[in-house]
Chain A
Amino acid sequence: MSGSIPVIPTDLPADPASREAMAGEYVLGTLDARTAARVAAVLLGDHGWREAVAAWEERLAPLAALARTEAPPANVWDRIEERIAPAEAPRLKRERRWTWVWRLWALAASLGVMAVIGYLVLSRDDAPRLMTVLVSDRNSPGVLAEVDRRGNLRLTLVPAALGRQLQAPSGKSLQVWTLVQGQQAPANAGVLPYEPGKLVVIPASRVSAVAGMLIQITVEPDGGSPTGRPTGPVLLIGRLTMAAPQS
């Protein structure tokens, strides 16, 4: 079953009987932290271990009926929603002359990063039509932007590359803007949650994504730009391109 799996250095048992028992202990939850972490690591690369754990999860699942049921505190959903839902930006209060400049480095989105992330994304069934990687002014990737089949704009943090959470400075908000080629003014696509999770989805009703469209994230006053135009520094920027030849 696992003949072609690369060997992962580990001191976990290799013989099927011991593996089976330890996979069971892992799902049961009785393993100490260190051993459990080693099992979790081996699961990433070893098909045999994954199958064994999946079988135990299926086998033991009925036991969960023995836990009591209890309603969670009322604020838990609010906390979840805060981290996934982009907020509406405040309505335009006054017109102000637009002085904001799209940066040239938008065009320099690293092709290497695109290739790696593109590969990961395109190996999925729900491969997006359009995508890009939003990069900083130092060209380091921060957010993977994908447009799914329904036109929703999905922003996924690239944590390894960014090395930190995408979080607004204290008292500020991060706001997403789009600019279709040939248009003068960027359109507001919403304010990011203050402490976003790894994935924020901006519904198709707020963005009309087309190839060549610029996407950028700027630092704005708390709650979003009061002018309806970007006013603060650009944190990340990128241009949507076709993801792959369409099937």
Chain B
Amino acid sequence: MFATDTDLKDLLGKVARGDQAALRAIYVRQSTRLYGIAMTLLRDRTLASDVLQAAFLKIWERAHLFDPERTSAETWLLGIVRHVALEAARQRGREAQADDLPAGDTATDQRAMEALLTSAAGRKMLEGLDRLDGRAREAVVLGYVHGLSHGELAARLNVAQATGRSLVRRTLLALREGLA
């Protein structure tokens, strides 16, 4: 997807100069991905719509801070959307609608993980996740993708909150080693 990211990079440069059509072009290309990310984190259409709107206003205001030397355009956009979405999740108190969450280990079963096969970075991530045990893998995916807090993760994994949190911390560091 190199062409896409080059396009996005150029479009962000135009947005930094106040080009509204460029912002619209980014929206057309990325809103389905970014709204999906917000929806998966929040499981609430109204809130996810508000998040997407707030995120695009931030992109409009901060495009001049995007530095293609440091990160890709896709990752930069993702960071803004996740930041706004997590803020929103914390503000509403994360009353997660548990019935909308993937049941059992379906968040991390083989089918769910196939989405990672489409990029080199994703395949590397999949290898890293494969080195973790099932519970650790679930903690990472439920946290990052489905927006569960430490408390919710602990409840889901049937452990005390402190235990859940230390599992998360150990897992992150193991994943870092695995991806290095």
Contacts and interface: CB of A to CB of B under 8 A. Distances in A.
A52 B18 CA distance: 31
Interface in A52-80: 54, 56-73, 76-77, 79-80
Contact of B169 (A25, A33, A80): A25
Contacts of B176: 20, 24, 59
A30 B148 contact: yes
Contacts of B3: none
Interface string B87-107: 001110000000000000001
B145 A67 contact: yes
A20 B173 contact: yes
Contact of B150 (A30, A64, A77, A79): A30
A60 B179 CA distance: 10
B173 A148 contact: no
A66 B74 CA distance: 15
B12 interface: no
A30 B153 contact: yes
Interface of A: 20-21, 24-25, 27-33, 36, 54, 56-73, 76-77, 79-81, 83-85, 124, 126, 148-150, 152, 154, 197-199, 201, 203
Interface of B: 16-18, 20, 23-24, 27, 31-33, 35-37, 39-41, 45, 48-49, 52-53, 56-57, 60-61, 64, 70-71, 74-75, 78-79, 82, 86, 89-91, 107, 112-113, 115-116, 118-119, 121-122, 124-125, 140-141, 143-145, 147-151, 153, 165, 168-169, 172-173, 175-176, 179
